[in-house]
Structure 1
Amino acid sequence: MANKSHLKFLSEKQLSEIKDFKYNYGFGPNEEDNTPKNYYRLANSFKADLANLNTDLEEKYRIKDRTIEIPYDIDYIQITFQDQFVISKYFQDYYSDFGLEAVAFYDFAQKGLFAVADRDKFEVFLTNVNNFIEFGLKENQESTYSNYVIYIRSFKLLRTNDILKFQIENIGSIIYLSLINLPLDEEVKQQIVQSLITYVETNNIEYKYDTESDRIELHNPSVEQIQKIIQNFDIIESVTCSAFTTIRPTQFNTVQREFGFVIENAEEELPIVGIIDTGISQQTALAPLIINDTTFTLAGNPLIDQAGRNRLGHGTAVAGLVALGKDNHRNNFEGEVVADAKLLSIKISDNGCGYISEINLLKMLYDVKAKYPHIRLFTLTTCYGNHMNTNESFSDYTFSLDSFAYETDSLIFICTGNNDNCINENTNYDLSYFNHEHTNLSTPADSQNNIIIGAAADNLKNGAFRGIANGREFPTLYTRKGHVDLSTIYNAKKTNKNYFKPDVINSGGDMGFYNANTLDWMDEPALTLLSARPEIGIMEEVGTSFSTPLVANLAAKIIKNYPTLSNESIKALIINGASLELIPFPTTLAKLKNRVAGNGLVNDFKSLYSTDNSATLILEDTIQDGKIRIYPINFPNYLVQDDLGKKNGILKISATLCFKFKPIKNNQLSYNPIHIAFCIFKNQSAEDIMKPDEELKSKLKSTLSWSENGRYVSKPLPYSNTQKISFNVNVSDLINEKNSFKLAIHTKLSEQIVGGLPENYPTEFPFSIVLTIEETVKSNTGKLYDEIQLVNNLEAIQGIDLDAGLEADALNV
């Protein structure tokens, strides 16, 4: 089976229509009625909230240090609502009626933080609450109150222990103060911030103010100083520390062997990948691939790697996987060793754990892009040591990395982090373990513009598999799952099936059975990796730290084959090639499948190549806000004219949409404010596709609809910038639609943004759709690839001979 180049649409020639998009459906009469029916219970709850509010206010002002000059005191009220808060509708009302200015939203807009901007009007709010309490407790049935009150579930003062996000006794060397945005009064904010900076400077605390992410980084503050800052400066939303970790040092036996290979193509021009890690040892066989640049470091020489047990390194192993990939590792580096990437060491730690300056790291990444503007790929295999809480909002660190990816046309491959406690909490392979919250991923693995990778049990070794997992392709117990669970926020009919992390899983090695009831880190199911010490050569390890660079290696191969493709196309190719077919989850755990395994196990071959019987088509284009674009997908006649041995399921189609966005702070719901959805419809016009299904059925399959639901306007779903669909095609489908389907894509911007859409926010959005069409007949015809080009506006991306490249792997690993 010949390896063939993927095909790219000549988008302007393939495009058939652009129209304004119209929504022709709405809610049922009671669909959004979420007001409580039991007023007595709510009134009782409010009575307790009100008492706690008064007590907390007294305590707040009792402990304030009046010797510090601060221009304003601001109280913040955290309100939990019965349902989503409609920002576009109620933001102004809460400000005008109750003196409450919305500054941030969490739990997908079911919880809001409000500044008391007008104390007199806030008294009106408290009066309404008191009146409702009297009415609900049947103390005064004549009491009147605003209907807004009964839409509230609870309220409380933002307190010191709400702001502090770690145990104060565990204070580290670097602390972050996330600042509150006051949309309606920027001058008040800046005066408080300036007084805070004066306090920090007066107390000789080293600091950095990152205006992009709106946070202040403090170096080596004392516990007392942090407490005083939180208690006195009413402009701080949260205080976090930057404790991070790579994989833990393990007790593997190390194979003693010198490097016995030479890289054959070290002089070739290869994609550069930035390795954000513990350095890359130049005293190894990787030396010819390492760019001789010691500029980018936060912790010593970036060409030295002494992390981990016995100084075996971490960044060096990661770099080896990026540059040399699966084949060389699977073959124990024997024979001709061909590299896929050059390496730039970006050192952020000397030992693989501790504290880092995220602000310095981001500055360093921007400096990398300035010096090497053609670099597109990075690996980041360090995460926060603590897991994220279920449905926790995006961190400032994640926001900064997403902004960096958007602004610099970069793609960072980020691991989910490792849960090392899994060996102490399990006696066998049990996927129900992922029901526990502490198996959630760690920041910044909630990033949306980058690509997040978990670990599959495969260890790149031939022969019998010795891990505990049900098979090589299954996720490991140490990998971490996505922290978002929309079922706790929305009803079962209102969900976004695309909103999950990780994006994919890849080979990371597994743990083994030490005895019948004990799990441990064992040599046999582990990966064999390059160490940083040339006299030792290789080591055995496992971790998402190593599954991640393997996906970066695949991205480098894609760039080698198709250098003109966008990063969004690279991401879409990787996701579209991945599969969950070999990873059956028990029915009772089905809702965990995407959160643990993402879109499935990476398949290098499918991401890299088309074949005679499988064509991957790539569409790169832009779409304007409020528009729908239509692209015909035409199929060759032989599919309906030839005897293929069957009539149903002659083709399988999978399609993935990816786009990047400029993230917006202060509202988890509109962090990505861009709704883009796509689907493949019957051979109809844009006007017909937009008609309600009751009027004209446009769906090819009853289960095949828009990839993301945009019908919810005032209370939208969170939007995903990665979406995938798949379906089978019958001969009758082609006959009914005259061998042509319509690929449709539409977009709109969210209205639910604190303070409104930022000035100059883009209104035209680049996107990529990767579409794989493959024959699924018993005897493949060998016609699909050539003939689909004859009926569409397509061109082979590369005219090079790919036949000598990667061969299809039956294990898909």
Structure 2
Amino acid sequence: MAEQYKHIKITKEKLENDRRTRDYNIPTFKRGDLAGHGQKLNQALGNAFAQAKKQVSSVEDRFILKLEYTGMLDIKNLIKHGVEFISQEGNNICIVFANEAGLAKFSDHLSRLGKNDANITYKQILTALENVDNWTRSDRESWAVKFYGLPKNDTFRLDIELWPVQSSRHPLRQKLIQDFTAWLRANHIRQIDQVSLDSLIMYRVEVTLAQADLLLEHTDIRYVDLLPKSGINYSQMNFDIAKLPGEISAPAENSARVCILDSGINTNHPLLRSAIAENTSFVTGEEAEDDAGHGTAVAGIALYGDLEAAAASNYWKPEFWLYSGKILSRDKDTGETKYDEKTIESTLEKAVAYFAGEQGCRIFNLSIGNTNSPYDGFHVKGIAYILDKLAREYDVLFIVSAGNFNGCEEPPIPKESWREEYPSYLSCPESIIIDPAPALNAITVGSLARHNAHENEQKYPEIHALTPAGERQPSPFTRHGPSVKGAIKPDLVATGGNIASPMRTEGKQWQAEARGMGVLCLNHEFIGRTLFKEISGTSFAAPYITHLAARLLNEYPTASANLLRAMLVNQASIPNESVGIFTKNHIDSHKEENKSDLQRDVMGYGAIDTDALFRSSESAVVLHSENTIKNNTHQFFELPLPEHFLRSQRAKRELRVSLAHSPAVRTTRLDYVATKIFFKLVKGKSLADVERSFNHDLQDETKVRNDDAVTNREITSQARSKGTVQASIWSFKQLSPNVKWFVVVTRQDRPDWGAQMSLEEEAYALAITITDRENIEPQLYTQIQNRVQIQERERARA
């Protein structure tokens, strides 16, 4: 076996340039008849005001309006016309609120437009407007309410979001909550729970149908939603393991600490008990033990990774501590898991504050998903927003599942057969990722198939059930991205199981069977039964990545969550078996319709090859760095590439570069993230040669640089920079010893609001893998280590 070494830490150059910027003014939209335009808008405002007065409100003098606009809108100066911005709700829709005095000012400015408007400032705002309308009942209905309708019970529970006016501690916010809570009491609506964060005000309430109608007409309400459903559905098949070692050792005392937030863990399971550090329930009135089985199944994969391989060798060695936070429980009527009656958002805040803040857990697995909350293409909501916020606050890594797509009836997917219609439905709108999978500061995991023989196919010679997916192809139930503004999601894929279509029942091929094709996991009800069972779902792909992340943290215990994300994604590639599953027509039509890469939307950066994940070798060397960067600046890293790597002789060589950061986020903006940090790979004769292209003072003399070697690159800088973990791979056949290669890192805060939410110096992490596997006598690690030492001496002299 080749000798392995610790990854090498590298340092950025002392040079730090101001980012190239241009003065930019929001362009004025040209209108031919300004007076007519103002009159039309004023009439629309009058109608909207009349409708707004009919809506239910918890306070008399507060009105919500929906403004439709063309081009770009100067949001921060809307107040000049009497209305105050609340939120963007689409590419050309924003929401504002005002009192009667403000609306009178707005109406006055519209009436004077094109007539007596010399003293009106920011007229371009009025010319950009297309219409003034209300936020209506239909706007307030969530996807789940539209799709399923309201429950038929006499009383039922709903989640409602209010418009997040100001920040959580602002007096206006406090008054809004006070007024709305009083309104709930006055209307005899039972409040179960309430959460107030900067970008989220959520209530969980119990209502009658008549009370639900009041909520859907309430001016302060942004969305009305059904309660989350975990969406966990699985079949079981037992694997009987006859023998286990007499004693399974506990992890080392200083090992990584991993928290499983799920349905609890059965701590008596013989393969888990030596690694359990704590088991705590956050479900009111329930013990911490797992009565549903989901949490124990997830925990086993998180602890051991590939349980099939571990069982085959009967080798069991826990390498890190498991902490369990019970946030799901078993519904005694349906057998499915369910959330606590309090909102999952507040439960998660409590659990993470405890396990991260008090117990030192650095990695959290959340194999949960709300099938009632598919990503709408605009806003990150609920659980995902909480995870993005907590990841930044506690510097922890959340690993979440993409969610399972079990087909649907309207429209019918699949129409006739999972097998015949695979893989086209993998990109259908109905199989979009669900909350919390859109979270940008977390790692989202989709599913790959491993086995393709149904239980009956293994037992009997006749055809019984056939699967659409082969080994290392996307599981038929995995959900697709992208996330915010086209950010790549899922980030990674791992083995999660497969399903098959029954072949002997006419017209029933749309049914899904999974026995014998899932993932081996631990059985929570092992006493008198078997230690193992089999399950399929993205829920069981996520903990495999959790397992790798925890082992990585053991190797590099001071690594930030950003560095863990960068290192994990740095070793990911699309499996060869998956490369050709989509037709060119499917790929082209998806790109035209969605402006994104179909393969990336389904499989993200791919599956992790662990060959160089934990340690470098003489043929594959991983470099890493953690830094901070100011707004509107560039930082430079010269790659310590030895001359032998840069040789001109033909041989395949590879550069993998990845970056991760955890920005502040805001749900009322379509941009969502407060700052962007991104990288480019460029080449030049020297640092001085390269920096000219990133020098603010020379922006009129030299062209802006993009990536070099674009024909050798897998993912464009534009596509990868939309996410907060970014990566690309460059493959080379020939290089030049006379050229140096650099990674240039840039930070750019969102105009107007990004800097207010960001730190003066934002943290980020880089991971770079340099590979030269065709070298007969590789000494890449030794050569790079020497080159790093030379660079450090040169910087010290400078």
1:75 aligned onto 2:63: yes
- Give SS of 2:788's match: coil
Describe the shift of the 1:342–1:460 C-alpha distance in structure 2 as closer, same or farther (beyond 3 A). Answer: farther
In structure 2, distance between residues paired with 1:196 and 1:522: 48
In structure 1, distance between residues paired with 2:440 and 2:635: 24
Partner in structure 2 of residue 492 of structure 1: none
1:113 aligned onto 2:95: yes
1:577 aligned onto 2:535: no
State the Cα deviation string for residues 99-124 of structure 1 (Å, max 9, x = none): 221111133x5321122351112213
Partner in structure 2 of residue 384 of structure 1: 370
* Conserved? CA contact 1:254–1:538, under 8 Å: yes
Describe the shift of the 1:638–1:218 C-alpha distance in structure 2 as closer, same or farther (beyond 3 A). Answer: closer
Describe the shift of the 1:366–1:182 C-alpha distance in structure 2 as closer, same or farther (beyond 3 A). Answer: closer
Partner in structure 2 of residue 414 of structure 1: 400
Which moved further from structure 2: 646-655 or 543-552? 646-655
1:282 aligned onto 2:255: no
**1:348, CA displacement in angstroms?**
1.2
State the Cα deviation string for residues 682-701 of structure 1 (Å, max 9, x = none): 23325323266984696642
| 2:326 partner amino acid | K
In structure 1, distance between residues paired with 2:27 and 2:765: 38
Q: How many residues align?
A: 727
In structure 2, distance between residues paired with 1:332 and 1:448: 35
In structure 2, distance between residues paired with 1:258 and 1:302: 30
Describe the shift of the 1:334–1:9 C-alpha distance in structure 2 as closer, same or farther (beyond 3 A). Answer: closer
**1:303, CA displacement in angstroms?**
4.3
1:339 aligned onto 2:318: yes
**1:551, CA displacement in angstroms?**
0.4
Describe the shift of the 1:469–1:4 C-alpha distance in structure 2 as closer, same or farther (beyond 3 A). Answer: farther
TM-score (norm 1): 0.80
Which moved further from structure 2: 422-431 or 271-280? 422-431
* Conserved? CA contact 2:681–2:741, under 8 Å: no
**1:79, CA displacement in angstroms?**
2.4
**1:361, CA displacement in angstroms?**
2.8
Which moved further from structure 2: 545-554 or 404-413? 404-413
Describe the shift of the 1:124–1:355 C-alpha distance in structure 2 as closer, same or farther (beyond 3 A). Answer: farther
* Conserved? CA contact 1:415–1:548, under 8 Å: yes
* Conserved? CA contact 2:426–2:480, under 8 Å: yes
In structure 2, distance between residues paired with 1:271 and 1:121: 60
* Conserved? CA contact 2:369–2:437, under 8 Å: yes
Partner in structure 2 of residue 586 of structure 1: 583
Partner in structure 2 of residue 728 of structure 1: 731
* Conserved? CA contact 1:10–1:794, under 8 Å: no
State the Cα deviation string for residues 109-166 of structure 1 (Å, max 9, x = none): 532112235111221365479x89xxxxxxxxxxxx9654553444421123322425
* Conserved? CA contact 1:529–1:539, under 8 Å: yes
Match of 1:689 among 689, 693, 704: 693
- Give SS of 1:653's match: strand
In structure 2, distance between residues paired with 1:601 and 1:575: 9
In structure 2, distance between residues paired with 1:428 and 1:386: 27
Partner in structure 2 of residue 163 of structure 1: 140
What are the within-5 Å matches in structure 2 for residues 125-144 of structure 1?
127=111
**1:745, CA displacement in angstroms?**
1.2
| 1:727 partner amino acid | W
Partner in structure 1 of residue 17 of structure 2: 19
Describe the shift of the 1:372–1:764 C-alpha distance in structure 2 as closer, same or farther (beyond 3 A). Answer: same
1:395 aligned onto 2:381: yes
In structure 2, distance between residues paired with 1:53 and 1:153: 11
Describe the shift of the 1:187–1:300 C-alpha distance in structure 2 as closer, same or farther (beyond 3 A). Answer: closer
| 2:523 partner amino acid | S
In structure 1, distance between residues paired with 2:789 and 2:609: 27
State the Cα deviation string for residues 581-609 of structure 1 (Å, max 9, x = none): 51224333432111111011222233223
| 2:585 partner amino acid | T
State the Cα deviation string for residues 376-404 of structure 1 (Å, max 9, x = none): 01111111122525413011332221111
**1:363, CA displacement in angstroms?**
1.5
Match of 2:297 among 317, 330, 347: 317
Partner in structure 1 of residue 638 of structure 2: 632
Describe the shift of the 1:702–1:556 C-alpha distance in structure 2 as closer, same or farther (beyond 3 A). Answer: closer
| 1:80 partner amino acid | E
In structure 2, distance between residues paired with 1:263 and 1:572: 36
What are the within-5 Å matches in structure 2 for residues 787-798 of structure 1?
787-793=783-789
Match of 1:200 among 179, 184, 190: 184
Partner in structure 2 of residue 180 of structure 1: 164
Partner in structure 2 of residue 654 of structure 1: 656
**1:405, CA displacement in angstroms?**
1.0
Describe the shift of the 1:588–1:6 C-alpha distance in structure 2 as closer, same or farther (beyond 3 A). Answer: farther
State the Cα deviation string for residues 434-491 of structure 1 (Å, max 9, x = none): 33211101011111111100001125999999973453222112111115485xxxxx
Describe the shift of the 1:436–1:84 C-alpha distance in structure 2 as closer, same or farther (beyond 3 A). Answer: farther
Higher relative CO (Cα under 8 Å, sequence separation at least 6) belongs to 1
Partner in structure 2 of residue 511 of structure 1: 499
In structure 2, distance between residues paired with 1:280 and 1:73: 51
- Give SS of 1:368's match: helix
What are the within-5 Å matches in structure 2 for residues 365-380 of structure 1?
365-373=352-360, 375-380=361-366
* Conserved? CA contact 2:379–2:484, under 8 Å: no
In structure 1, distance between residues paired with 2:33 and 2:270: 72
Partner in structure 1 of residue 119 of structure 2: none
* Conserved? CA contact 2:260–2:323, under 8 Å: yes
1:620 aligned onto 2:626: yes
Partner in structure 2 of residue 676 of structure 1: 678
Describe the shift of the 1:111–1:293 C-alpha distance in structure 2 as closer, same or farther (beyond 3 A). Answer: same
| 1:792 partner amino acid | V
What are the within-5 Å matches in structure 2 for residues 149-298 of structure 1?
149=126, 151-165=128-142, 166-167=144-145, 169-170=150-151, 172-173=156-157, 175-182=159-166, 187-201=171-185, 203=188, 205-213=190-198, 214-229=200-215, 231-232=217-218, 234-250=219-235, 252-255=236-239, 260=244, 264-269=248-253, 270-291=255-276, 293-298=278-283
Describe the shift of the 1:580–1:64 C-alpha distance in structure 2 as closer, same or farther (beyond 3 A). Answer: closer
Describe the shift of the 1:52–1:155 C-alpha distance in structure 2 as closer, same or farther (beyond 3 A). Answer: closer
1:546 aligned onto 2:540: yes
Which moved further from structure 2: 687-696 or 561-570? 687-696
In structure 1, distance between residues paired with 2:302 and 2:375: 31
| 1:671 partner amino acid | V
1:770 aligned onto 2:762: no
Q: Which runs of 5+ in 1 are unaligned?
A: 133-144, 308-312, 487-495, 711-716, 796-813
In structure 2, distance between residues paired with 1:460 and 1:620: 42
In structure 1, distance between residues paired with 2:28 and 2:500: 50
* Conserved? CA contact 1:299–1:347, under 8 Å: no
In structure 2, distance between residues paired with 1:433 and 1:206: 40
| 1:205 partner amino acid | R
Q: Which runs of 5+ in 2 are unaligned?
A: 116-121, 331-335, 459-464, 588-596, 792-798
In structure 1, distance between residues paired with 2:396 and 2:317: 25
In structure 2, distance between residues paired with 1:469 and 1:605: 29
| 1:748 partner amino acid | Q
Partner in structure 2 of residue 2 of structure 1: 2
Taking only aligned residues, the RMSD between alpha carbons, in angstroms, comes to 3.9
* Conserved? CA contact 1:340–1:553, under 8 Å: no
Partner in structure 2 of residue 783 of structure 1: 779
In structure 1, distance between residues paired with 2:433 and 2:711: 31
**1:54, CA displacement in angstroms?**
5.5
**1:659, CA displacement in angstroms?**
0.9
